[in-house]
Structure 1
Amino acid sequence: MSLAALAGGLSGLCAPASANTIGTDSVPANDEAAAPAVAQVRMVLLVPSRSGVFGSAADAVRTGFLTAYSRQKENITLAVVETGDSAAEMQKAYNEASGKYDILVGPLSRSAVTAIAQSGQVQKPTVALAQPDLAVESEAQLPPQMLAAGLSLEDEARQVANWVELEKAPGKIFAISTGVAWQKRAARAFSARGRQLGMQTDSLELNAAGNVLNAAGLAQLGRRIEQEKPALIFAALDASQTLQLRSAIGTEIPIYGTSQLNPFTLNRQNPNDKMPELDGVKLIDIPWLLQAEHPAVQAYPRTVINDNERPNPDLERLYALGIDAYRIAREIAAQRSGFDLDGVTGQLSVNIAAGGSTFFQRKETQAVYQDGVAVPIANQR
């Protein structure tokens, strides 16, 4: 997920009591006595400082990671190292950590992951928490021991394209975004995957002032829809903008989108948090925000917020990312090079064989708006 979409106005998360035993840049003694013959795996989580640009995002990931560690810490000693926000500062911290630890988790920003991926310095198993900005979107460009496990709206857009291919009626598809960077990336990813699948896609960019779509642009889009009658629309927009879009063009044309169409969390406090205007709109999101009865979701506590705060779905997603990042790293620590996890961020397939090919795939949950909220679709495609 683009951290630019999270910048500004993010509230922090309260860490569970079990996480308080781990301080910054420290390695605690394992609470559970291990047999002397069992070697301890040294793991480090590299995250930006709480006081930096990515402070709230880093705190959410850290809390999720420590929550998962507190439940399965056998044979693992953990350090948490806070770094600066810049790619250069993260690179320096990563290089120093590589000499001390067996498994590295981080960085969190796209620029830092890109710098490390291209540095030639990846010598230890590394679970990156964001996607790199590489010239060609291909996991094969990553170093052999590096996984890019971050949440990615581009990956979601490609998954939606795969889904659409199974369901769509014949005809053209409109991929609609504004000029916001994450929306343009999602629309491009959807269109590129759609073309690979033989679909005809047109990318359309609407003008917007803040979060408000331009009325003249919506009217023009409505006329074009009337003339060309597209089979469906991929909305690389957020929920509020998609509501504006639907109000302008009606409910006849199917709309699909990413997790940004879901602004709600499972632990939302306001029972009136509903958007019935989006009923019928389809999207994908992670189990943590859709499936309260999912076994992995039930295994971990929800984030803690103040009574006067509204649950933040993007921070919830990052908390869930922290949980799954630890579970991935723990499997690697157990020397499992290829494995599947039914995670809180989706169904995960991982391969990180030393000297071999590196592979990571996340399949999120398909959902549809019903009675104003996104609910999982019974028969996942």
Structure 2
Amino acid sequence: MFTGFKKMAALGGVLGGLWFAASPASAADSVPLLAQAAPVIQAPVADPAPPAGPDATQPPMQQAAAAPAPVRMALLLPNRGGMFGAAADAVRTGFLTAYSRQKDNIQLAIIETGDSVPDMQRAYDDASARFDILIGPLSRSAVTAVAQSGRVTKPTIALAQPDLPGETEAQLPPMMLTVGLSIDDEARQVANWVEKEKAPGKIFAIATPVAWQKRAARSFQARARQLGLQAETLELSTPGNALSAPGLAQLAKRIEQEKPALIFAALDASQVVQLRSAVGTELPIYGTSQINPFTLSRDNPNDKLPELEGVRLIDIPWQLEPDNVAVSRYPRPAGNENDRPNPDLARLYALGIDAYRIAHEIAQRRSGFDLDGVTGRLNVNMIGGGATYFQRQETQAVFQNGLPVPTADQY
């Protein structure tokens, strides 16, 4: 029933580390990209529209003052041929989609870099000397290096979270925002949701040895305990691509004996199907966006997961809310007819849209603002010389008739 979703799981983990097995068929088909040249590309996407014709009654000095200098913006992404090529292409296409609808005196350049941290750091340092706002890097390791370099002097919108051990609090430079989609943040939001449900009893947080799943379970447990909830992390082994049958049997026995209030599943969709088959349908299960293997681009009415009926999760509006005003104003990226839409690439396309919208607000010198974004409700604060703040609130959903549907009550 879910062999197709197992294949998609190999492309997942974008929230945990940005790795893919294939690039999108050409998401860029729907948005024109500029010709680019190696090794590092400085590609002005478009010049700003010229100002309206001068007023003959206005003195020359006043005419010149009426045309403000354009804001120079640089999008730094790994090159398309590298290991992050598919992710970079999705972000680039979403970014340019948003840019094409809201240019407002912005000059945009796309800079392609190598995959290594030193390559990215050199490109960042060079761009910082010549641009007003920088968007990137995209990988966790590169964001960590830039954040710790001591050389962030321009507004910088990082597209991933820094790679820090455990629950270490990120100490970001004053001019840096990290807006990347984060499995850790999702897990903490699920803990907040669970706390509001007020279900009494212990919570089991289930993960496997996969890095992003361990991080999600750890983040959920830490936040749950802060909220006064009792949470225990349990790790299941994964021989092959399936959850361990003996491990599932042992888990089912513990559930029968200890009667936990609910399960937080730091798992993907196919693994939750296996979990459900082992422990039954009575125990509530909550999870992250990785439980949603669908995109709104699907056109196969049989593409459903009835085995997950009642499972709760959070995901971005781009994946759940076609009627959301922010979502409906942007086109879906073009793809290959024969390829199943990849939900992680769809999320990165949406991240590109919101990254540009945040950069645009900063270009208008707005230091604090809220956005109804395609990746969630965004609250941003970037005060020169002071602390930065970024928060994303994603959408709560529950599986109904085999598909995730937003819940009526959103916290």
Same-fold call, TM cutoff 0.5: yes
2:327 paired with 1:310: no
Contact 2:141 2:163 in 1 (8 A): yes
1:1-381 alignment to 2 at 5 Å? 1-2=14-15, 4=17, 6-16=19-29, 18-21=31-34, 23=36, 24-30=41-47, 32-34=49-51, 37-135=67-165, 137=167, 141-381=171-411
- One-letter code aligned to 2:44: V
> 1:357 Cα shift?
1.3
- One-letter code aligned to 2:234: L
Distance change >3 Å, CA 249–CA 75, structure 1 → 2: same
Greater Rg by CA: 2
> 1:9 Cα shift?
3.2
Show structure 1 runs of 5+ residues with no match: none
CA deviation profile, 1:94-122 (whole Å, cap 9, x unmatched): 00000010000000000000000000010
Q: Which runs of 4+ in 1 moved over 6 A?
A: none
Distance 1:160 1:17 in 2: 35
Distance 1:225 1:265 in 2: 33
Contact 2:48 2:105 in 1 (8 A): no
Distance 1:211 1:194 in 2: 29
- One-letter code aligned to 1:9: A
Distance change >3 Å, CA 180–CA 343, structure 1 → 2: same
Distance 1:136 1:222 in 2: 29
Structure 2 counterpart SS, 1:141: coil
CA deviation profile, 1:24-58 (whole Å, cap 9, x unmatched): 41224425223652220000000000000000000
CA deviation profile, 1:156-180 (whole Å, cap 9, x unmatched): 0000000000004210000000000
Structure 2 counterpart SS, 1:188: helix
- One-letter code aligned to 2:325: P
Show structure 2 runs of 5+ residues with no match: 1-13, 53-63
> 1:14 Cα shift?
2.5
How many aligned positions are there? 381
Distance 1:372 1:163 in 2: 22
Query: What is the Cα-based RMSD across aligned positions, in Å?
Result: 1.5
Distance change >3 Å, CA 229–CA 298, structure 1 → 2: same
- One-letter code aligned to 1:212: A
- One-letter code aligned to 1:246: R
- One-letter code aligned to 2:86: S
Q: TM-score, normalised by structure 2?
A: 0.90
Structure 2 counterpart SS, 1:114: helix
Distance 1:151 1:199 in 2: 25
Distance 1:3 1:138 in 2: 16
- One-letter code aligned to 1:106: G
Equivalent in the alignment of 2:8: none
Structure 2 counterpart SS, 1:77: strand
Compare 325-334 and 32-41 and name the one that shifted more.
32-41
Contact 2:31 2:93 in 1 (8 A): no
- One-letter code aligned to 2:20: A
Distance 2:382 2:335 in 1: 36
Contact 1:22 1:79 in 2 (8 A): no
Structure 2 counterpart SS, 1:379: coil
Structure 2 counterpart SS, 1:15: helix
